[in-house]
Structure 1
Amino acid sequence: MTDRSENTGTSKKRRWVRWVLGVPLGLLHLLSAAAVYSALRYGPLNQWDDQGHAGTTAMALFAIIFSVIAILITLIPPVRRTMGLWWLVPPVVLGVIAWVRIATLG
């Protein structure tokens, strides 16, 4: 028979590690989502709006950078085992949206 106190200690440690890893990943996802929202919501006014194009491109690039950082953190083996692969979904989706936004600015 196994001792229940050992299992409880392991689950408490895992819960604590999930919080330690999940909060920074969640913040990266929020930063990426805010950059994507900004790139989609506040686009250039017209073809002549060079600053609007530059700002939209910058926000989309920030979203891609935040997404890549989040993907790289999630792919680290201890993080992947602790957090699960579903943490890859938000940065991939936000990165694709940002990439499409840059591609359609033309």
Structure 2
Amino acid sequence: MSHPVPQHPDDADRGCLRVVLAVPLVLLTLPAAYACWLALTIRPGYPGDEDAYRGIETGCLAAVFFAGLAALLWLLPPVRRVLRWPWIVPAALLLAVAVVRWVTVPQ
């Protein structure tokens, strides 16, 4: 007969803590996704369309900012203990896409 393993008292609070910590992470990832989408969908009307290029760069900057804040939040040890690495994957991918798009914008 196996005996139940006693659970640590903090394990019951981790579910609630996960929700509390996931909210700001998701709220930072959503504007990063929107800004990245804007940067990817803006197309210049002609080769010297400075307004379109400026819009692409602004979208990339906003995506890098919000995704970077999400990554910095996740790097805090208490957050990393509760929210494992799959939680930061979307923000990290958005950050990488925004940086690649920003670098490939013609000057």
TM bin, normalised by shorter chain, reads 0.7 to 0.9
**Identity of matched residues, %:** 35
Aligned position for 2:26: 26
Structure 2 matches for 1:81-96, cutoff 5 A?
A: 81-96=81-96
More helix by share: 1
Amino acid at match of 1:43: R
Compute the displacement of 1:67 (Å). Answer: 1.1
Aligned position for 1:66: 66
Amino acid at match of 1:46: Y
Structure 2 residue runs without a partner (length 5+): none
**In structure 1, C-alpha distance between the alignment counterparts of 2:20 and 2:98, rounded to whole Å:** 27
Q: Give me the CA root mean square deviation.
A: 2.0
Give the length in aligned residue pairs. Answer: 104
TM-score, structure 2 as length reference: 0.86
Compute the displacement of 1:99 (Å). Answer: 0.8
Aligned position for 1:41: 41
**In structure 2, C-alpha distance between the alignment counterparts of 1:41 and 1:3, rounded to whole Å:** 53
Aligned position for 2:77: 77
**Contact 1:44–1:56 (Cα < 8 Å) also in 2:** no
Alignment of 1:52 with 2:62, yes or no, is no
Structure 1 residue runs without a partner (length 5+): none
TM-score, structure 1 as length reference: 0.87
Moved beyond 4 Å, runs of 4+: 1-4
**Contact 1:29–1:70 (Cα < 8 Å) also in 2:** yes
**In structure 1, C-alpha distance between the alignment counterparts of 2:70 and 2:46, rounded to whole Å:** 33
SS in 2 for 1:25: helix
**In structure 1, C-alpha distance between the alignment counterparts of 2:47 and 2:84, rounded to whole Å:** 44
